[in-house]
């Protein structure tokens, strides 16, 4: 019957509106949380790069000083943060601090040039002695 009573759903709009609000709120919460995580990751990455650059700048300056005049420990302040260093046997322990982040680097100290020349001369003497004995035989 075309002109008779309608069999269509006659529900209220309240349920559809409530579901829409809940879905939109969940999406907004998800996107804001994702944005916060991304921003935090980006900030941490910037701090790590600043720390690595500070370390490299320090090492360049530190190894430019003659070995007998190099201090065994100390602190250096840069515009982006601070750096503390300490010599321990054959290693240089470097602690960098940028804002609230801290990172420790351990760098091996290069062998002194005097030690290299002495060891090279000893090796040359040993190889010369072995080559002389080989020639005699």
Domain spans, the chain: 14-127
| Cα–Cα distance for residue pair 49/41, rounded to 1 Å | 12
Whole-number pLDDT of residue 120: 52
Residue 68: band (very low, low, confident or very high) from pLDDT cuts 50, 70, 90: confident
Which is higher by pLDDT, 13 or 4? 13
Over residues 103-118, the pLDDT tens digits come to 999 999 887 655 444 5
Please report the pLDDT score of residue 128 as a whole number: 46
Closest to 55 measured CA to CA, from 114, 20, 107: 107
H-state helical runs in 5-112: 14-64
46-54 mean pLDDT: 94
Q: Is residue 88's pLDDT more than 80? A: yes
Q: Rounded to whole angstroms, how far apart are CA atoms 92 and 113?
A: 18
pLDDT the model gives residue 53: 94
Q: Which residues, other chains included, contact 18 with Cβ-Cβ below 8 Å and sequence gap of 6+?
A: none
Answer with the residue of higher pLDDT: 84 or 16.
Answer: 84
């Amino acid at each position: 019957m075309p002109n008779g009573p309608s069999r269509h759903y006659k529900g209220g709009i309240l349920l559809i509106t409530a579901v829409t609000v809940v879905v939109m709120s969940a999406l907004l919460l998800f996107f804001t949380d994702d944005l916060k995580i991304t921003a935090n990751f980006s900030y941490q990455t910037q701090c790590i790069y600043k720390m690595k650059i500070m370390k490299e700048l320090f090492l360049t300056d530190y190894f430019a000083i003659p070995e007998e005049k190099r201090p065994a420990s100390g602190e250096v302040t840069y515009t982006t943060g601070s750096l503390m260093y300490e010599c321990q046997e054959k290693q240089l322990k470097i602690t960098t601090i940028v804002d609230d982040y801290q990172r420790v680097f351990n760098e091996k100290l290069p062998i002194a040039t005097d030690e290299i020349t002495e060891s090279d001369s000893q090796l040359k003497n040993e190889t010369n002695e072995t080559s002389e004995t080989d020639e005699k035989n």
